[in-house]
Structure 1
């Protein structure tokens, strides 16, 4: 198991400018959801955005400290629009 703070730290280290929110979906610590907002996603497909995040968590995913990760990735502009939606 890896802490939610550690997951967020690893993502921030990989992406530099990322705003990261991580939550445990099941209470077991290995099924997580991450919302990541980063300028580095600008111009990238959703698949490429997710690949950047997964690369930050490669060791944790391989060891199954994280068994499942639901990702939501946004550029800051897209996040501003999405976070205001009802």
Structure 2
């Protein structure tokens, strides 16, 4: 079962309430998305740690309901 862009955004914002989240459906299939996530919670974290925070927010949906997510993360000042 595919995920909607709204579901992805909602899960990320639940975990990172201050986040600015932009989701784009890359293939129109609800399975391949690109996400840009900007949050102060990423400050002092490596890029890998930032991505891990987003994947954790998705509650195990990566590789299941969500096949692919091209992820770009940053802090508000970067």
1:40 matched to which residue of 2?
A: 41
1:70 matched to which residue of 2?
A: 70
Compute the TM-score of the two structures, normalised by the length of structure 1. 0.85
Give unmatched runs, 5+ long, in structure 1.
Answer: 79-86
- Distance in 2 (CA, whole Å) between partners of 1:13 and 1:46 is 20
Q: How far off its partner does 1:58 sit? A: 2.8
- How many residues are treated as equivalent by the alignment? 77
Q: If you compute each CA radius of gyration, which structure gives the higher value, 1 or 2?
A: 1
- Distance in 2 (CA, whole Å) between partners of 1:51 and 1:68 is 14
Q: How far off its partner does 1:3 sit? A: 1.0
- Distance in 1 (CA, whole Å) between partners of 2:4 and 2:68 is 14
1:26 matched to which residue of 2?
A: 27
Aligned-CA RMSD value: 0.9
1:61 matched to which residue of 2?
A: 62
Structure number with the higher helix fraction is 1
Q: How far off its partner does 1:65 sit? A: 1.1
Give unmatched runs, 5+ long, in structure 2.
Answer: none
